[in-house]
Structure 1
Amino acid sequence: MQHAPLVLDIAGTALTDDDRRRLSHPLVGGLILFARNWRDRAQLAALCADAKALRPDLLICVDHEGGRVQRFRSDGFTHLPPMRALGALWLQADEKQPGEGAMRAMAAATACGYVLGAELRACGVDFSFTPVLDLDHGGSGVIGDRAFARDPRVVAVLARCLAQGLLQAGMGNCGKHFPGHGFVRADSHTDMPVDRRSLSAILADDGQPYRWLDGVLTAVMPAHVVYPKVDARPAGFSPRWLQEILRGKLGFEGAVFSDDLSMAGARMLDGQALSFTEATLAALGAGCDLALLCNQSLGDGAALDELIDGLAQAQIEGRWQPSEASELRRLALLPRAPALPWDALMTQPAYMQALWRLP
C-alpha cells in the first residue's frame, strides 16, 4: 500500500495544471484549502469535485473552527462563534435551574459541530482541523478565544459534544495542539515557543483532554512548542511526545498531522534551520502520519515540487519508509457516507434545529 503523507495547498479558486500534477503524485494524500480558494459555494463545490475526480481518495481539509478561524464566511455559510463563547455559556448561572448553562453549552457545541461539518461536506470538503483542545491560560494571543475554557474538564466535555456534532454530519475531528499551546505567549507562526513545565504538570492540566477524549478523537495535531523538561525537540518532531506519550501512555490510535511545516516554529530543530524536506522527514520519523506544508503554492510553487521530489528521493535512498498503518489512518478520515446537498440541508430538520441551538 502506498503511503501518501503530504498535505499541500493550491493558490487559486480552480486547479491549474501544476496543481493537478502535484495532487496526482502518489506521495500526496491531502489538499488544504484557505480563504483565497473561496469565491462562493458553487465555485468551492466545483473545485472539490475537480480534485476528487483527479483523486477520489484525496482528503480535502480546511481550518474551519468558528470565530476568527473560519475560512468560508459568505454565500450562506453560518458564522460560527469562537469556542470561548461556548465556555462562557457553560458558566452562565441560573439560580432556578442549576447547571442549565452547562447543558445549554453542550447542546450548542453539538450544534456547532453539526452545522460546521454539514455545511463543509455539502460543498465537498471532507475534514476540518477542529476542535482546539488548548486551555485558555489567558496569555496566548494565537490561541485566545479559540479555546473553550481554562478548565480541562469543560474543554473535554465541550470538545466531545462538538465531535459528536461533526460525527452526525459524517466528519472526523482533530484535537490540537498536543500537548497544549495555551500556556505559552509566543506565536509558533513566527517564533519558537518554550513551555518549561514538567511532564507531570503538563499532563495533569493541558494534557487531560487528550486522556479523557481517548476513543473520541480521530486525529491529533501536535504543537510547534518545545517542552525542554520532556524533550529538546518541539512536540511535532519528538518521538517521545508522539510515540511514547501520545500513543503509548495515552493510547491514541488515530492519525497524527504535523502542524504547518512552513511556520517558523517548524523550521528549527536542534539549533539548525531545516529545509521543507528535512522538516517533513523529521516529522514523519517522529511519528506523524501526515505532514502539512501550507502557503507555498503562491508564485511558482517551487517549494512544493522540491518537497515532493525530496521525499521521493529519500524513499529511494532508504531515509524514509512508507507506513501502511499511517496510510490506513489517513483513509479512515475520509467520510463514509454521501453528503447531503446544500439545498436539501437547508430544510433538513436536524440542521434547522442545530441553527436554533447556536449561541
Structure 2
Amino acid sequence: MTAASTPRAVILGCSGTTLTPEESAFFRDLRPWGFILFKRNIGTPEEVRALTASLRETLGRADAPILIDQEGGRVQRMGPPHWPKYPAGGRFGALGEEAVAMARLGARLMAHDLAEVGITVDCAPMLDVPVAGSDNIVGDRAYGATPEAVTALGRAVAEGLMAGGVLPVIKHIPGHGRATCDSHLDLPVVEADRASLSQNDFRPFRALADLPLAMSAHVVFTALDPERPATLSERVIREVVRGEIGFDGLLMTDDLSMHALQGPFRARAEAAYGAGIDVVLHCNGRMDEMRAIAEAVPDLTGQAERRAGAALARLAPPEALDLAEARARFEAAFATA
C-alpha cells in the first residue's frame, strides 16, 4: 500500500442519507479508516446500501469498515418499518435457560440486517456492569447486574454477530457501569477503589479480550488516573486496557464530540493518540469539527495498522441461516417470557 492510499487513524460520520460533494471530496482526501452511521443516515434499505457503497467508493477500498450502534432497545439506529425492533439487552435475563441462545440468535438476526446493507461492524456488545445509583445511560442496555451475566450474554452477542459476517465492538472499556452521569452530557467520575474495579467492572472485558475491536470509556477512574478520562489516559490504556485486561485488538475512542471531553477537537484527538488509542471516532458529521480533527490524524501504521488488519481478517461470510424460522423462534421466546 502506498503512502497516498494508506488509511488514516479515524472513523467519521456523515450528515445525511447521501454524501454531499463537500463530504465526498473531504473523505477522499483524508482517507479515514472507516465510517459510522446514525439514524440521520438511515432511509430505505436501498438507500442505506447505496450510501455504504458510495462511502467505500470515495476511499477506493471495498473493505473499508462501516460501523453502527445496533444494540436493541433504546440504541437501535435501524428499526421499523424496514427492520425489526429488537429487545434491550436487559430483557434477555427473563428468558432463563434460553437467555444465552436467544442473545446469540438475536445478534445473528441483527447481523443479517446489517450485512444486507453493507454494514460490517456493530458497536456491541456493551459489557458495562451497572451498580446501584448509576446513571440510566447504561440502565436496561446492560445484559445483567453481575459480571457473570454480562460476560455470558456479551459473548453470545459477539458470536452471533460474527456468525452473521459482522464484527463486534466491546464497549465501554474498561467499564462505564458506575458512571453517575451521562458522558454525552458531562464527565463521569468514578471513585471506586482499584480492587473493586478489577473484581467487577473489568471482568467481562478480560473474558472477552480476544475480540477484535473495543471502544473506550469517557470516564475518570480516580483510583487509576484522577485527572484524565480513560480515553485520554496513557496510564489507564497501558496498565489496564492493554495490561490487566489484556486487550490487544484495535482500540477506538468513544465519540470525540461528547461533552465529557473538553477543549478544541484537534487537542482531543492528539490527547487520545498520545494516550495509546489506535483510532479516534467522531460521529456527528459536522464538517468544521471533522476538519479540526483531521489536522491531528496520523496514518494508520505500526501496531495500530497491525491491529486493524487483524480485525478485518476476522470478517467471514455469514453462516447459513433459515431467516424466517430464526425470526419466528426469536419472537416466540420473548412472546412467552
Same fold (TM over 0.5): yes
Identical columns (%): 33
Partners of 1:136 and 1:148 within 8 A in 2: no
For structure 2, the residue ranges without an aligned partner over 5 or more in a row are: none
Q: Any residues of structure 2 matched to 1:1-359 within 5 Å, and which?
A: 2-55=6-59, 56=61, 57-89=63-95, 101=96, 103-138=97-132, 139-215=134-210, 217-231=211-225, 232-267=227-262, 274-297=263-286, 301-308=287-294, 310-311=295-296, 323-334=301-312, 336-337=315-316, 348-349=321-322, 352-353=325-326, 355-358=328-331, 359=334
CA shift for structure 1 position 350: 5.4
**Equivalent residues of 1:130, 1:176 under 8 A apart:** yes
Task: Say whether the 8 Å CA contact 1:243–1:287 is kept in structure 2.
Answer: yes
Q: 1:226 to 1:211 in 2, by over 3 A?
A: same
Take 1:42 and 1:322, find their aligned partners in 2: how far apart are those partners? Answer: 31
CA pair 154-245 structure 1, distance change in 2 beyond 3 A: same
The offset of 1:58, in angstroms, is 2.2
The verdict on how the C-alpha distance between 1:306 and 1:198 changes in structure 2, with shifts beyond 3 A counting, is: same
Task: Check conservation: 1:40, 1:75, Cα contact below 8 A.
Answer: no
TM-score, normalisation: structure 2: 0.90
Q: Answer yes or no: is the 8 Å Cα contact 1:260–1:266 preserved in 2.
A: no
Q: Deviations over 1:36-85 (max 9, x none)?
A: 11111110011111112222242211111110100011243121100000
The aligned counterpart of 1:95 is none
Q: Give distance in 2, aligned partners of 1:23 and 1:126.
A: 19
SS class of match (2:33) = strand
2 CA distance for matches of 1:288 and 1:355?
41
**Alpha-carbon offset, residue 354 of structure 1:** 5.0
Kept in 2: contact 1:115–1:351 (CA 8 A): no
Query: Contact 2:219/2:230 (CA < 8 Å) preserved in 1?
Result: yes
Give me the whole-angstrom Cα distance separating, in 2, the residues matched to 1:62 and 1:209.
Answer: 22
Aligned length: 323
CA–CA distance in 1 between the matches of 2:98 and 2:247? 29
Using the size of structure 1 for normalisation, the TM-score is 0.84
The Cα of 1:336 is off from its aligned counterpart by: 3.6
Give the gaps of 5 or more residues in structure 1. 90-100, 268-273, 316-320
- CA distance in 1 between partners of 2:318 and 2:264 (Å): 39
| Residue type at the aligned position of 1:204 | Q
